[in-house]
Structure 1
Amino acid sequence: MDGLRRLADAVLLPGFVGTSAPDWVRRRVADGLGGVLLFGRNVVDDEQVGALTAQLRAERPELVVAIDEESGDVTRLDAARGSALPGPHALGAIGDLALTREVGAALGARLAACGVTLDLAPCADLTLAAEDPIIGVRAFGSEPVAAAGQVAAFIAGIQESGVAACAKHFPGHGASTADSHRELPVLDRTEEQLRTVELVPFQAAIAAGVRSVMTGHLVIPGWGESPATLNRYAITEVLRGELGFTGAVVTDALEMNAVSGTAGISDGAVQALRAGADLLCIGGELADAEVVDRLAEAIVAAVHSGRLSEERLTEAATLAASLGGPVTGGPVADSDLGLRAARRAIEVRGNLKLAGPPLVVDLEVDPSIAVGAVPWGLGPHLSELLPGTRVLRRGPDGKKEILDSVNGSPVVVVTRDAHRHSEVRRLVVELVSIGLDLVHVETGVPGPDLGSVARIDTHGSAFVCLRAAAELLADHTAREDRR
């Protein structure tokens, strides 16, 4: 393989399918592929992930092994069960920077033990738009300075173990009402708003020594027509020049429709490198040998044509390699840390008291693409802790079945970002108006009061957040064995 093709391979970060490395991945890693990106589809348990990364590193020890492990709702290591650590919004609700750093350190130690070198976390986005379909509880909150402190603490914790953190999605996705997986968001934000709001957590991340920053596929009209990922002004002038970032710039996945549906994946890869990006994510199902070859060939052709300089490509490959391994690791935290933190994040409004084991109604809505099919619902947790609990999993059109199932029981209605789903809000209000003894548990970003007798906000849907809410409900339920 010639040197130019090797440089092109060195800036690519593809995903793959399977719990062991396919032959094409192993061959390309040996030939200089920059790294691989792991998803839930690649995970059975920590031991298997460690074996997988060892298999890959046997081909080339300095390989970048990346994963989207944010803790909370977005988890890959715990995709089959739900995260053992609360997510950013829960940590932001607690407001304890020492705890946030401890959670970050626990996550970093676990990733290091699994052989991961780059964690595509944390989100330095803010929860700014109620209609935002993609960030929500993935952010530490909406107040820039408070969130900035949380971002810095989480990064410091992760990087204690030698794992590189990645602040995302520059310049900030939280004010968007569109999902860049599906379309190209345009943010109507002024320069003053960006510098006093969105960019504050990124400044804190850089000051904390974050080793990488991920660009968002977001258009800022004042910066030009191209999204930040393909925008030289965004990356080179603002992120590097103004904010002083010197680490590796990682793109969000190029197959997301905000890029693939506009510039196209191959031309998007070239544009991103020209703009100043260093490592190109192509993590979806389409990441296979053919796609990797096509992108590498497009990059080589761009150098031959003079559209992309070999100097820029060499710089990108060098910065991408800085996120490789091996990692040193560190002590793994006690297993109760996540649940203890989740308990502290819970907020209760109203008089929380159930007359007996309830009917739990888990109102299902489609999760975001970033979250994926991670188990959700309070019912299984409370059923385990409180015998006699009955569970319904229904969409917001299940009013009749819910009423037919009450039979005089208290009702616990569980929602996920009810403020974003009018049909969910309408159903909860209707159930309350009937006069049911109803507790509302919100597992997303807390929204408006819907009139329930009591309200619990968990600030996330992690396994431990749902478990903590179930514990609280069980402790506030009258039972025969307590009389």
Structure 2
Amino acid sequence: MHHRAPAPSRRTLLTVSAAAAAAAVTGVSAPAYATSDRTDDRTLERLISRMSLEEKVGQLFVMRVYGHSATAPDQTDIDLNLKEIGVRTAADLVEKYHVGGVIYFAWAHNTRAPHQIADLSNGIQRAALAQPTPVPALISTDQEHGIVCRVGEPATLLPGAMALGAGGSRSDACEAARIAGAELAAVGIRQNYAPVADVNVNPANPVIGVRSFGSDPQAVAGLVASQVKGYQEAGVAATSKHFPGHGDTAVDSHYGLPTISHTREQWAELDAPPFRSAIAAGIDSIMTAHIVVPALDPSEDPATLSRPILTGILREQLGYDGVVVTDSLGMEGVRTKYGDARVPVLALKAGVDQLLNPPSLDVAWNAVLKAVQDGELTEARLDESILRILRLKAKLGLFRRPYVTAAGVDRTVGTRAHLARADRIAEDTTTLLRNEESFLPISRRTHGKVLVVGADPASPSGTTGPPTTTLAAEFSALGFTATALSTGITPTAAKIEEAVAAAAGQDVVVVGTYNVSATSPQRTLVARLVATGVPVVTVAIRNPYDIAQLTGQRATLAAYSWTDVELRAAVRVIAGHARPRGRLPVPVQRADDPTLVLYPVGHGLSYGERN
């Protein structure tokens, strides 16, 4: 049985005034003790010594939970929690497993509205501070912006990584992160799994793509460091991912185990620079990748479970001593070689600190507990990771200020200034790839009637979408007569005929394209519309490679995402209310010969330039 160490003496107890003030606002009692932002390791070690073994194991886990409330979720969420986790509520999750962190998802109904998120965060903190050894929770999410957003409107939505890569402005990247970080912190989310530090050198990458800043390692490195600075100045722990680099894969690690064939020299040249840059910028946490890199570890274990990669390279070679968090342990990439009970133990042995979202928390939690009881893991090894986690919590001020307030939400989230700045940043990222005979910009006088057709993928959390509707609405706001017709990612023959018929009498057709392949019926849609004689403008609403598969359109733009802020910016560029300033951050290869480049990195037209 684990015995608690004696309580710290009065000399070691630190001020609780800020926590008490927060308690006065939230109606929650302050913890029995609290640390300052500059707490030394000795104080944190005393705190660790008070934890039971079960509490220590819990501190290592960051877990999902369903529901909009920590104590009173909807019945459907209670049922899901009971089925997947064995608890009813977030508060029960913290009480039973002593988890050190919780991750929010829109699909788990955690992020409905800013005040609701803040209340959920406060409820989780109440539960954490009611534990026998009270330690605040570290609440996290994936708010990359662009195509990966968990917190939607009315929070400010900003351009994603590849869009920022097209803008090329480190100051814009920093400001975007600072805005995003301030709004996350206001609702109690203090660890963001961004920025993506992967260098997207493979156009066929199914999982990274526009989540990367681009294909140039040095350009990516500069933007990663800028976003680290912005997030962390706003009081949110940034997390660069996915170490040692997920940019050259053709397999999605959510569904399989990718292998990276880079030599160690290629890794050092292509994949390592953004992580080196993040570390130099003082990154708070780094997320692992469920990928195999034989040149870095001949055992062909996933990097998440590889001691040569996480300890040998990340810790020892790159000198990183911050928090290492796994990518989700529910992904197939980490589950293909070992069972779910072995994965968390092997991850800790490799050098991981935080274990993120296992498919069965009960299996994973008990596996770690048993590994310590059996001597496979030492309690000292757990203490090493817990110390890093507590250092981060102390740095973020969570011991002194665990709660957030409604007033803080109101003065920070989705402010007019933030929204206006997001629009300006988005305009600077929109990239004009083709403009035959200077067709753009169009005017209401010459092209007043606009038909918008195309793909309507499921929108990221909280956007108003669908994309065709958003594009048409922005044209209408600018005085055009605009009609929206969704034709889908794989338009049927009937939908294509409907679009062709709708083009009659229009002055221009705008087509939103989405990851067009050689066999995509989107090619047929564009060709049939071009054949009507009505001018066609295409807007790539995800990867910018679509242009290689399309012919006959008068102009093509890359928006890099189908979130509202980037789509509205694309319309303003088409209509001449903003000038295109974006430049490709990745090359576009020819469709008939991928060894040849159709448009190189840096390509992007301004109005008045010839193709």
Q: TM-score, normalised by structure 1?
A: 0.90
Residue 6 of structure 1: aligned partner: 55
* Structure 1 range deviating more: 237-246 or 378-387: 378-387
Residue 336 of structure 1: aligned partner: 420
Closer/same/farther in 2, CA of residues 426 and 373 from structure 1, 3 Å limit: farther
Residue 129 of structure 1: aligned partner: 202
Residue 91 of structure 2: aligned partner: 26
1:109-124 superposed matches below 5 A: 109-124=182-197
Is 1:49 matched up with 2:114?
no
Q: Which of 405, 408, 413 is the aligned partner of 2:505?
A: 408
Deviation per CA, 1:101-140: give whole Å up to 9, x if none: 1111111111111111111111001221111111111111
Deviation per CA, 1:56-98: give whole Å up to 9, x if none: 11223521101111122111111x6896211111111111111
Residue 429 of structure 2: aligned partner: 345
Is 1:305 matched up with 2:305?
no
Residue 157 of structure 1: aligned partner: 230
What is the distance in 2 between the residues matched to 1:420 and 1:189? 28
Closer/same/farther in 2, CA of residues 408 and 385 from structure 1, 3 Å limit: closer
Residue 481 of structure 1: aligned partner: none
Deviation per CA, 1:205-248: give whole Å up to 9, x if none: 00000010000100012213111101111100011111111100
The alpha-carbon deviation at position 433 of structure 1 amounts to 4.9
The alpha-carbon deviation at position 355 of structure 1 amounts to 2.1
Closer/same/farther in 2, CA of residues 82 and 432 from structure 1, 3 Å limit: farther
- Give the 3-state SS of the residue equivalent to 1:414 in structure 2: strand
Q: Identity, % of aligned pairs?
A: 35
Residue 450 of structure 2: aligned partner: 358
Residue 480 of structure 1: aligned partner: none
Is 1:197 matched up with 2:246?
no
Structure 1 contact 63–321 (Cα < 8 Å) conserved: no
Is 1:442 matched up with 2:491?
no
Is 1:473 matched up with 2:547?
no
Is 1:454 matched up with 2:555?
yes
- Give the 3-state SS of the residue equivalent to 1:181 in structure 2: coil
- Give the 3-state SS of the residue equivalent to 2:128 in structure 1: coil
The alpha-carbon deviation at position 307 of structure 1 amounts to 2.2
Q: TM-score, normalised by structure 2?
A: 0.72
Is 1:173 matched up with 2:238?
no
1:392-403 superposed matches below 5 A: 392-395=485-488, 396=490, 397=492, 398-403=495-500
Deviation per CA, 1:36-73: give whole Å up to 9, x if none: 00011211111111111111112235211011111221
The alpha-carbon deviation at position 357 of structure 1 amounts to 2.0
1:348-387 superposed matches below 5 A: 348=432, 349-350=434-435, 351-352=439-440, 353=442, 355-364=447-456, 375-386=465-476
The alpha-carbon deviation at position 389 of structure 1 amounts to 1.3
Letter of the structure 2 residue corresponding to residue 341 of structure 1: I
Residue 609 of structure 2: aligned partner: none
The alpha-carbon deviation at position 434 of structure 1 amounts to 5.2
What is the distance in 2 between the residues matched to 1:97 and 1:380? 28
What is the distance in 1 between the residues matched to 2:388 and 2:278? 18
Letter of the structure 2 residue corresponding to residue 228 of structure 1: A
Q: Which of 85, 99, 104 is the aligned partner of 2:172?
A: 99
1:183-262 superposed matches below 5 A: 183-222=256-295, 223=297, 224-262=299-337
What is the distance in 1 between the residues matched to 2:519 and 2:276? 33
Closer/same/farther in 2, CA of residues 112 and 421 from structure 1, 3 Å limit: farther
- Give the 3-state SS of the residue equivalent to 1:57 in structure 2: helix
What is the distance in 1 between the residues matched to 2:371 and 2:348? 10
Closer/same/farther in 2, CA of residues 116 and 81 from structure 1, 3 Å limit: closer
- Give the 3-state SS of the residue equivalent to 1:361 in structure 2: strand
Closer/same/farther in 2, CA of residues 475 and 82 from structure 1, 3 Å limit: farther
Residue 76 of structure 1: aligned partner: 150
Structure 1 contact 362–379 (Cα < 8 Å) conserved: no
Q: Which of 51, 66, 80 is the aligned partner of 2:140?
A: 66
Closer/same/farther in 2, CA of residues 30 and 175 from structure 1, 3 Å limit: same
CA RMSD of aligned residues (A): 2.5
The alpha-carbon deviation at position 419 of structure 1 amounts to 5.2
Deviation per CA, 1:387-422: give whole Å up to 9, x if none: 531111123333222212222322111012335874
- Give the 3-state SS of the residue equivalent to 1:266 in structure 2: coil
Q: Which of 87, 103, 108 is the aligned partner of 1:37?
A: 103
What is the distance in 1 between the residues matched to 2:543 and 2:201? 11
The alpha-carbon deviation at position 157 of structure 1 amounts to 0.3
The structure number with the bigger radius of gyration is 2
- Give the 3-state SS of the residue equivalent to 2:349 in structure 1: helix
Letter of the structure 2 residue corresponding to residue 235 of structure 1: L
Closer/same/farther in 2, CA of residues 345 and 421 from structure 1, 3 Å limit: farther
Is 1:418 matched up with 2:543?
no
Is 1:463 matched up with 2:463?
no
Deviation per CA, 1:407-452: give whole Å up to 9, x if none: 2322111012335874434543454355441000012221134231
The alpha-carbon deviation at position 373 of structure 1 amounts to 9.2
The alpha-carbon deviation at position 305 of structure 1 amounts to 2.4
The alpha-carbon deviation at position 301 of structure 1 amounts to 1.1
Residue 148 of structure 1: aligned partner: 221
Deviation per CA, 1:236-263: give whole Å up to 9, x if none: 0011111111100000000111123432
Structure 1 contact 254–280 (Cα < 8 Å) conserved: yes
What is the distance in 2 between the residues matched to 1:441 and 1:212? 36
- Give the 3-state SS of the residue equivalent to 2:428 in structure 1: helix
- Give the 3-state SS of the residue equivalent to 1:358 in structure 2: strand
Letter of the structure 2 residue corresponding to residue 359 of structure 1: L
Closer/same/farther in 2, CA of residues 131 and 422 from structure 1, 3 Å limit: farther
Could you tell me which runs of 5 or more consecutive residues in structure 2 were left unpaired when the two chains were aligned: 3-51, 72-87, 130-135, 578-611
* Structure 1 range deviating more: 226-235 or 375-384: 375-384
- Give the 3-state SS of the residue equivalent to 1:179 in structure 2: coil
* Structure 1 range deviating more: 244-253 or 332-341: 332-341
What is the distance in 1 between the residues matched to 2:523 and 2:219? 29
What is the distance in 2 between the residues matched to 1:275 and 1:206? 19
The alpha-carbon deviation at position 13 of structure 1 amounts to 0.5
Structure 1 contact 130–419 (Cα < 8 Å) conserved: no
Structure 2 contact 468–485 (Cα < 8 Å) conserved: no
* Structure 1 range deviating more: 157-166 or 30-39: 30-39
What is the distance in 1 between the residues matched to 2:354 and 2:391? 11
The alpha-carbon deviation at position 458 of structure 1 amounts to 1.4
Could you tell me which runs of 5 or more consecutive residues in structure 1 were left unpaired when the two chains were aligned: 477-483
Structure 1 contact 167–214 (Cα < 8 Å) conserved: yes
Closer/same/farther in 2, CA of residues 423 and 185 from structure 1, 3 Å limit: farther
